[in-house]
């Protein structure tokens, strides 16, 4: 538990004011002589002792004083250098030499976190003027003042200062802890909740803004997504000039960004945030983004370790099974040579070939085998992939539409491309059949755009569950499937990436897989 910082600095050219504020915040203890007199009176008159010891209901302040701005700034500089900064600075507005405003501006060169409270008998400066020149982390109170007002101002300022320091330490710690993603999301949500409270809003979220300005929510608090037009919000973000590692406020929108991660906050009132709170938003984004990256890297490392162990076992098993599977084709060829060929033999051949390709898929994935490109007719590759699904359960009740130009040719590894497409088609067939979708359809379409082939595989099934759509292409991610290894889509992703392409998934009245492949 960090000790409460209750250090106060009073900068005023009037000694009486300096001493008065000190006497208010640090009441002088009664003298030793007075204590003896009080004890004697208690004995003589048998005064009853109180049952409860009376305590102050405000912090135990420590107070230092400076008679002018230059002396005050020097004290601030020394306090920061020694690691014991002031929590609160009471500052007179009119002083010989540096004015209070000039002093505040100098203080901010060394300390942007201290709560500055102007105490002045003159109201010739509006709070807006002060904020504009001295920064937003300031308060303002007019003389004459009552002792209770000084205590109240100092207590609130110390409370705010220490609450924000504790939040700051918590924020700084999150990027250095090895969290699992679900644990991290819970912690970030809690911190975001506290941070939102400090800037007086109940709606905020962490989002990831991709290069094409599509929006991906990481987490949120409040009813932001229900009350705010997200399309309009993204447009505002797109049109907001903000550099990396910056925080800006435009009207009620506060935006902080680091790389692709952003924090949006919608304020209840269109008031300028104090510098301190803008700083905390910036700090939160920095550490939250780093923590998310760390969690993602940690999960990928665990997946790789898991995959490596599984891969070694699978590799040994497949190595042993590969030869007998491939020998099936030799046996069927011998049967045909003896004149005993039939459709049943052809089916055995196709089954053996598919089994062999499945083995090849796993082994290629584990070894990250490079692709070998050659000109491939995309329509022919898709037709072959669809043909491979002919014996799949439920395929007879599903309508498959193919819309691909006959002459569309791309540079690809034909076997790997065909198997990737086959995997996606099989997934669609399984989803449509398992959910008994009426009028079940799979639509496969390709077109050329900017010297790239855009291939979409779309079905009218239930779509991808929201809780796995972001991690769908990672190993061992599967849901509501009675069969499958959880590696199929990871293999597809690896194949497409190896071709220099990209694959994305979305839901649009069913699952939509979009593959982009270079033509050359």
Closest CA to 91 of 79, 106, 110: 106
Q: Which residues contact 226 (CB under 8 A, 6 or more apart)?
A: none
The reported pTM is 0.48
Q: Give CATH for domain 171-295.
A: 3.30.450.40
Each residue's pLDDT, cut to its tens digit, for the chain (520 residues) gives: 467 899 999 999 999 999 999 999 987 644 445 555 556 555 555 555 554 444 456 788 999 999 999 999 999 999 999 999 999 999 998 899 998 888 998 998 899 888 899 888 765 666 666 666 665 567 778 878 888 999 999 998 998 888 888 878 877 777 666 666 667 777 777 777 877 777 778 777 777 776 656 667 777 777 766 777 777 777 777 777 777 777 777 777 777 777 777 777 777 776 666 666 777 777 777 777 777 777 766 666 666 666 565 555 555 555 555 656 666 767 777 777 776 666 667 767 766 766 666 667 666 766 667 788 999 999 999 999 998 888 788 899 999 999 999 999 999 999 889 989 998 999 999 999 999 999 999 999 999 988 899 999 999 999 998 878 888 887 766 655 545 555 678 889 988 998 999 999 999 999 999 999 998 7
236 close to 259: Cβ distance less than 8 angstroms: no
Class of domain 7-48+55-164 (CATH, top level): alpha beta
Domain with CATH 3.40.50.2300 in the chain: 7-48+55-164
Q: How far is CA 161 from the centre of its chain?
A: 26
Domain with CATH 3.30.450.40 in the chain: 171-295
Which residue carries 């997504």 as its tokens? 225
Closest CA to 59 of 82, 87, 100: 87
Query: Can you tell me the distance from the alpha carbon of 80 to that of 458, in angstroms, rounded to the nearest whole number?
Result: 61
Residue pLDDT, tens place only, 143-172: 788 889 999 999 989 988 888 888 788 777
Query: Can you tell me the distance from the alpha carbon of 168 to that of 144, in angstroms, rounded to the nearest whole number?
Result: 35
Please report, for residues 66, 79, 179, 372, the alpha-carbon distance to residue 115 in angstroms, rounded to integers and kept in the order given.
17, 14, 34, 65
DSSP string spanning 291-349? HHHHHHHHHHHHHHHHHHHHHHHHHHHHHHHHHHHHHHHHHHHHHHHTT---HHHHHHH
Of all residues in the chain, what percent are helix, strand and coil, respectively (each to 5)? 50, 20, 35
Q: Which CATH architecture has domain 370-520?
A: 2-Layer Sandwich (3.30)
Domain with CATH 3.30.565.10 in the chain: 370-520
DSSP 8-state class, residue 275: H
Which residue carries 């009486």 as its tokens? 16
Strand partners, 209: 215
Strand partners, 163: none
Phi/psi at 324 (nearest 5 deg)?
A: -65, -35
Which residue carries 């569950």 as its tokens? 465
Task: Pull the structure tokens for residue 266.
Answer: 């919608």
3-state DSSP assignment of residue 220: strand
């Amino acid at each position: 538990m960090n000790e409460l910082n209750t250090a106060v600095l009073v900068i005023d050219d009037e000694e009486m004011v300096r001493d008065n504020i000190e006497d208010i915040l640090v009441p002088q203890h009664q003298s030793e002589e007075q204590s003896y007199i009080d004890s004697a009176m208690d004995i003589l008159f048998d005064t009853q002792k109180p049952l409860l010891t009376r305590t102050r209901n405000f912090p135990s302040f420590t107070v230092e004083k400076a008679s002018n701005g230059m002396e005050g700034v020097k004290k601030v500089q020394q306090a920061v250098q020694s690691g014991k900064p002031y929590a609160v600075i009471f500052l007179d507005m009119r002083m010989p030499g540096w004015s209070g405003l000039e002093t505040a501006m100098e203080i901010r060169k060394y300390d942007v976190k201290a709560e500055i409270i102007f105490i002045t008998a003159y109201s010739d400066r509006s709070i807006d003027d002060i904020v504009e020149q001295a920064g937003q982390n300031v308060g303002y109170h007019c003389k004459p003042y009552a002792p209770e007002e000084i205590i109240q101002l100092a207590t609130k300022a110390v409370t705010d200062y220490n609450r924000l320091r504790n939040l700051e330490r918590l924020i700084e710690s999150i990027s250095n802890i090895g969290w699992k993603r679900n644990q991290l999301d819970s912690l970030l949500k809690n911190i975001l909740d506290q941070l939102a409270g400090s800037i007086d809003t109940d709606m905020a979220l962490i989002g990831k803004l991709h290069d094409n300005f599509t929006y991906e929510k990481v987490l949120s608090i409040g009813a932001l997504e229900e009350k705010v037009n997200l399309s309009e919000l993204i447009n505002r973000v797109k049109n907001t000039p903000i550099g990396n590692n910056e925080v800006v406020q435009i009207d009620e929108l506060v935006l902080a960004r680091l790389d692709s991660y952003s924090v949006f906050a919608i304020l209840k009132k269109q008031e300028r945030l104090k510098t301190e709170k803008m700083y905390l938003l910036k700090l939160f984004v920095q550490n939250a983004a780093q923590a998310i990256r760390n969690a993602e890297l940690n999960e990928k490392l665990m997946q790789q370790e898991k995959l490596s162990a599984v891969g070694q076992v699978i590799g040994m098993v497949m190595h042993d099974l590969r030869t007998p599977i491939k020998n099936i084709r030799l046996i069927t060829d011998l049967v045909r040579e003896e004149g005993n060929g039939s459709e049943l033999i052809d089916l055995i051949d196709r089954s053996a070939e598919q089994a062999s390709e499945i083995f090849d898929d796993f082994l290629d994935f584990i070894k990250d085998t490079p692709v070998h490109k050659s000109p491939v007719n995309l329509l022919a590759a898709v037709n072959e992939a669809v043909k491979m699904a002919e014996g799949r359960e439920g395929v007879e009740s599903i309508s498959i539409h193919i819309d691909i130009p006959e002459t569309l040719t791309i540079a690809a590894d034909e076997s790997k491309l065909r198997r990737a497409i086959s995997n996606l088609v099989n997934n669609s067939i399984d989803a449509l059949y398992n959910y008994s979708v009426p009028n079940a359809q799979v639509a496969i379409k390709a077109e050329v755009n900017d010297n790239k082939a855009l291939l979409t595989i779309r079905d009218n099934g239930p779509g991808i569950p929201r809780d796995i759509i972001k991690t769908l292409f990672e190993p061992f991610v599967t849901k509501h499937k009675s069969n499958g290894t959880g590696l199929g889509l990871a293999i597809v992703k690896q194949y497409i990436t190896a071709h220099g392409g990209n694959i994305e998934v979305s839901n649009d009245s069913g699952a939509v897989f979009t593959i982009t492949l270079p033509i050359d």
